Chain A
């Protein structure tokens, strides 16, 4: 009976809208968007990358998602509660259906987490989760091995998949749920989630077509875009041209060199924000003995003018950094400022006995981060002022990471974004004592090692009291700053641009996954 009422109400509603709105407004709305790449697969567990996560937010819904100021917003999970130190109970939303028509239940969450624990890209992140059980149709319990404070951070990665749809075998006898990196799996070409958009057509490398899901559960979402066409345009100049000529409505990223051009154009809107990806240089202590001396490392930090790089080289498109954690992260310490002071740097070099400097090698990618090669050149030039001669080599990203893994130079550049949006992640990958067996310090190309900090981070990761935990991580950040473990440069800004009739600002966030389900288009301009 209740169903009938809603049906009647919606029919009347439709009739009224149809009667009052002009025919133009009734026409289907389409968002044509151009990114630098399209998702490599439709299997959202195949690769942990920006493109895949964007697809996840369009065709699936996470249990919870980040708001603009790093709060958790309930999506498919409506409530959560820490039952004891190692158990969290979540209530999942009622009345949600998948694109296939199957109903969404707690079993789908269990199935999805189990699949995540099998995915090569996600299993490390989901390591702390021991098991997930469905208590009843709409309640799940997460059991962790040890107290685990980041479960909600992980829940932003849990996009429940349609377990019925992905179960069974294909005609060829392959399991439908298998995760294949190189080959054709069922999940890489078939998709069924709960999200606002259904994939209707996909030509890899050419375009993906989406259509608004008729039975989308979130009836309160203001989103009114009926169709989305996603085109990859890898060439920066072409992406800008396509927006300015009106061929597409929404582009990301906007290359920094074209920001003014976009800003000055009346027909388009530009949105930028400070990002969370830290760009930094390691100083390899295994390769260069001088780097074992804290004073030398500090001298290097003092010699580099982060603000100059951000202002002039990046044209303001970066936030100068003196630590890894950006503002908003628990470990962030607002009082840590870049400490450019050339005199101090020279003095420190003299104290350490290197007044005449020495020679080092440096490597950086040339097509991975914004202005990466130019930044490396600037840093090399700044180091020359403390008599350090730099032999710089820049490489395309395809070749760079192999060199990085081999630690082929004394100073190497890396950009890092914390997958968990948490401060501990920076230390675990960038500055923890390298250990091949546990994978700790996997990207610590400085071979910096302070076991006390490692212990502190391990302890913080068991601390359920978030205030206490934040304090510990801030301690770590302070110590890394004092000991000059590496040279932080800046957090790269993010930029998007759209045609003026699309209101993109409310759906954007620093995670760089626009919540397109909530995107509003002003119908008059269509």
Chain B
């Protein structure tokens, strides 16, 4: 549950994060002071030092020829497949295995809940234009041989010569051209223009293809999200298998055949047919060419989804064995509630999705029976639950109270974060504000702990000082308009832990004379109520405590520069419309919004970090949003037969894609 929550922050992450190389280089499991020095140091072999400026692969191919899986070798012998040397690019991606060279064979079984989770094969599979190294700090060329970034706005990619789609067709800039010209700039497919992920500051890039293996994207201003979009869990693509997609494109396909296909498939027009067959992201059409280590073999929905080895996969290990080691990737669908139970009987080889902190005891308890190990990876939650006063609430009395800094501080001081940590996380979390987690470079204890200590006396003093001294019969304070001071907290109902945390909050707030009411709904209702101001207070999580050290990321979640549902919608609108609409925010908030804009246009580096820290300082001082507990570890189940999976690591979505950062293609089974 926990891991897939509140990913909106992630959206902000991808929207704002940049290539902060220095950032999280020695991220450390947060709550474990006794742990080994750093995670990064624990895996010295995995990240061969790569020059950042001119990233090039360590020269490949120590051997004259490459080796391949026995099953493929047989196909080659039978003449059904070209030899491995021809299938691999001239300069394949060399993976340094986590523990050592593996053996071929075996199936990797994982559990998924809804059928749409087949796309996880792509998330885990890893093939991106650029990707993160195993410490999640350094960007590597992945499908490309090298890349260049100039002034944070000009990006050049040099492809690997001889890299092939899973059907054996070579990958060239023609595939990119098809995407850019025939899709992104085709008015029928993209009536609203270039897809928004490629837009930066409202402007589309200039795309320049100089030869079959070189492409250049240039924006007029700094683009801080482009590389993250390419490398993140989503792994955006600016290419499509042109040779495959052309059969569905009106410009290339035979008119009669296309019409027939549209009609047979029950589609409205050719665009719909084209869209339905463009399954790069979902990985659920068997014929669709891809670059993933395993390719699909099924039509959904199924109970069991089998992905088989891609004979043209472009990565090899340090001894020249073509990856992946495992023959198949298998997803078994099951009810989400049964996933922890099925793990205890050993039904999953590796499982992280749908397991949460509260499952750890059960998982540890059954390790012997299921023949697995429960590893605890550091989570990325700066705070699992943010309390969001709605400054644009229709309830004007409450909105005015929120504007008083003393009130916000009292709300923060009235939370017993240590108790929340003990009750909900057995003390494994980090009670703090919305800040980086301890041990992360750039961590600032003063900011993380600003007004974070439980101090009901001081909270009461502040509230009294504000003049909220009148009490009702039950002992709750009265608002200036004479009604009971109650906080109606809206919850999107996605994280079950919130119910418990709010229960704790209810009793400590009672101690400062504030009544808590709790309202459940769903994501859509929650958002609508938050942005319209119907809700006076909301709850949401906040990721990015670990890897995304970039303060701007954190800031963007706190100080919106556009409409939002984080409690400052009208302030965001005010900024976006330059004051013609919305409500003017207080000076400190306005300052922060300007800093966010400034940060977006500053290439990564000390100057960008300086702006980041200014934003963080405002956040710490003004407490516009209130953090609770973050950093609780997340369980991952690993069968005892599985090899090359790190003992310690990160359980995070946006950058790590659950397990993508460990490169499942180099996992193997004893």
Q: Do A and B come from one complex?
A: no
User: Which residues of chain B have a CB within 8 Å of any CB of chain A?
Assistant: none
